[in-house]
Structure 1
Amino acid sequence: MKNFKILFLCSLFLIVSCSRKENHPYTFYYWKTRLKLDSEEKKALGKAAAPYLYTRFFDVDKVNGKFQPVAVISKDSSFQTDKQIVPTIFITNQSLLGISSEEIKFLAESIHHLIQKKSEEYHLSINNEIQIDCDWTAGTRNDYFKFLKELKRISGKEITCTLRLHQVKDKKQTGIPPVEKVYLMCYSTSSPLENSDKNSILDVNILKSYLSKLEDYPVKKIEVALPIYSWGIVTNHLGKHKLINALSKRDLENPNFRKRSDDEIEVLKDGFYFGSFLNKGFTIKAEEISEEQLEDVTVFLQKKIPHFTIIYYQLDSKFVLDRKF
């Protein structure tokens, strides 16, 4: 009987331990074109244990057959942090379609030089890493992987990249990037422009189905990007949708709105709302992420992969206020 009790207590301890969220070091993505920090953002960043800030420097697109840097960063004097900056570059998938070997080399050189230029111009403390964000596909995988290798050769830096859910699920088609570390983007589980009752930012059941075999993904290290952002989905009389960024359920408290559910309202009076003109009869659905969702995802992931750092997307006073990191 005594041995049975000991066995029971041990089993109970294991169950509780496996279902409990570990403490993961965390930091943020910074995804604004102008580098600027207000008091709430500085406070949140100061509490973050991880020593890095993943900072978008610019996007890359191909316009009329030529590569173009888009929305290159500028810097305000308020952007002061002791975090090491990890330059993060978003590249559109279309930029890689039909790309030649010469263009791959040109693209890698151009990105490296622009990162250097902006780092020196704004006196940024840069880490020895460049992160590339690209939603590559089966059709662009080979050229994208060549580009990652070329950027590593030219820059001498550690090159890392983001990893989307479908790239985990369909790894045989999309391939494994030639990097030692990836950042798993645990959001955008569906399109916000589709008619759906699911949360398009993060539906935990969809995420779990996509990542059911995550433990088999053959890279050395997986870090985790989790969403803390929100938005509103506006639907007009024709059923067409558009997004209003940074909208929350709290913003929907307005006498000109009629509440249809906990997260959706109907506009009762024509007018300008949140910077857009909305007609009577339009609906707005607010999508935001709860602490329970984040904890559910974290507990699920820690059963799949070794200890990881969390990078919250994104650092903005509207998103970090009242969060329990």
Structure 2
Amino acid sequence: MKKVLILLSFIFLIVSILFIIKNEKSQDLTISFYSWENSFNQKEITEKLYIKVLDIAYSTKLEIIKSNLQEKPKDFIPVVYITNETMQNVDFSLISNAIIQGLKNYEFKELQIDCDWSNSTQSNYFKLLEDLKTKLNKTLSATIRLHQIKYYTKTGVPNVDYGVLMYYNMSNITDINTKNSILDNDIAKKYHYNFENYKLKLKLALPLYSQAIQFRENKALSIFEGVEKNDFDANFIEISPNLYKVLNSTYFKGRYIYKDDVFRFEDVKKEDLKIALEDFMNLTKNRFDEIIFYTLKYKNKFDLENLIKGKI
């Protein structure tokens, strides 16, 4: 009997230690936010911020949109968004010069580049990153998608100081049959490969936003960000979970929509965020203990401090 009690006490001690270690690990996680608006005017910001300062696109020429930062938080990290079409059509040196010119009015120690590169643009994009790293002599990070880890031998690993895994936008947003293009943990699990072989140290980015995708004759037309479920009023009928059909042509969020248009409502549940976070923590040991939430405007959607501690 005495031996049994000693054994039970030992088991209880081990379980308690493991619980404390896990809880301390969660408490060590820090929270930061993206700001992705084309303007920024918030004062007295205490959160660590990654602020989009440049949008770089290409139609018939290089197009650069600068964000209007009326307020500049101390020590924020500027982010530059570049379309893959730009990397397909413009030499890296021209893009690099445009970025450096666009950053002239900012004081920063670190820069982040956001581009979902493809096999055809890999060489040009990686040269851009190397050129920026050399000329700026700053800490440089790049956003990474799940498929770029699973297939890293084909997609390559950018030569930057660290990566940010964008754990959202992982499904085909234009397919009406997609369940939730923002965050679908079942889809994410299909890409849970090669994390142990991926050499780039990672931070994790998770979504907080909601949206609705407008379809007409099964073709995606528009994205309405910030839509809530109760926005689908008497002008809509729910035809299947999260799919709403327009009953009468009307205005919706300031835009005219037509009868028989279909909207897919997409949102992020805190339970799904917890699963995504736990999956990431279990997948990779080569990581930072920082979670970047997209975006700052939705920071009060959940109690994020308790969410990252597992207290949902």
User: Which sections of structure 2, spanning at least 5 residues, go unmatched?
Assistant: 305-312
CA distances 1:158-214 after superposition (whole Å, capped 9, x unpaired): 111100111111100010110121111000110221022521111012212213332
Query: Counterpart of 2:308?
Result: none
Q: Would you say the 8 A contact 2:203–2:290 is kept in 1? A: yes
Please report the TM-score for the alignment, with normalisation by the length of structure 1.
Answer: 0.82
> Take 2:146 and 2:5, find their aligned partners in 1: how far apart are those partners?
47
Which of the numbers 86, 110, 134 marks the counterpart of 2:115?
134
Query: Counterpart of 1:111?
Result: 99
Are 1:67 and 2:72 an aligned pair? no
Query: Counterpart of 1:207?
Result: 188
> Take 1:106 and 1:307, find their aligned partners in 2: how far apart are those partners?
32
> Take 1:32 and 1:128, find their aligned partners in 2: how far apart are those partners?
22
* Paired AA for residue 175 in structure 2: E
Query: Counterpart of 1:30?
Result: 35
Secondary structure of 1:58 counterpart: strand
> Take 1:320 and 1:184, find their aligned partners in 2: how far apart are those partners?
19
Deviation at 1:80?
5.9
CA distances 1:267-316 after superposition (whole Å, capped 9, x unpaired): 22221111222222322221010111111111111122344211111122
Deviation at 1:18?
8.4
User: Which sections of structure 1, spanning at least 5 residues, go unmatched?
Assistant: 120-125
Q: Would you say the 8 A contact 1:259–1:265 is kept in 2? A: yes
Query: Counterpart of 1:122?
Result: none
Q: Would you say the 8 A contact 2:208–2:301 is kept in 1? A: no
Are 1:247 and 2:227 an aligned pair? yes
Secondary structure of 1:210 counterpart: coil
Moved over 6 A (4+): 17-21
Q: Would you say the 8 A contact 1:222–1:308 is kept in 2? A: no
Are 1:278 and 2:257 an aligned pair? yes
Query: Counterpart of 1:223?
Result: 203
Are 1:4 and 2:7 an aligned pair? yes
Q: Would you say the 8 A contact 1:19–1:299 is kept in 2? A: no
* Paired AA for residue 55 in structure 1: I
> Take 2:159 and 2:288, find their aligned partners in 1: how far apart are those partners?
21
- After superposition, residues 35-50 of structure 1 pair within 5 angstroms as 35-37=40-42, 46=46, 48=47
* Paired AA for residue 72 in structure 1: K
Please report the TM-score for the alignment, with normalisation by the length of structure 2.
Answer: 0.85
Deviation at 1:19?
7.6
CA distances 1:60-118 after superposition (whole Å, capped 9, x unpaired): 22343x4331x211234xx364x42211111122222365xxx433322221121113x
> Take 2:138 and 2:17, find their aligned partners in 1: how far apart are those partners?
41
- After superposition, residues 264-275 of structure 1 pair within 5 angstroms as 264-275=243-254
Are 1:91 and 2:85 an aligned pair? no
CA distances 1:99-142 after superposition (whole Å, capped 9, x unpaired): 5xxx433322221121113x2xxxxxx43111111111222222
> Take 1:135 and 1:171, find their aligned partners in 2: how far apart are those partners?
13
Q: Would you say the 8 A contact 2:211–2:265 is kept in 1? A: yes
Deviation at 1:262?
5.2
Q: 1:61 to 1:265 in 2, by over 3 A?
A: closer
Are 1:58 and 2:54 an aligned pair? yes
Deviation at 1:261?
4.8
C-alpha RMSD of the superposition: 2.4
* Paired AA for residue 234 in structure 1: Q
> Take 2:240 and 2:7, find their aligned partners in 1: how far apart are those partners?
50
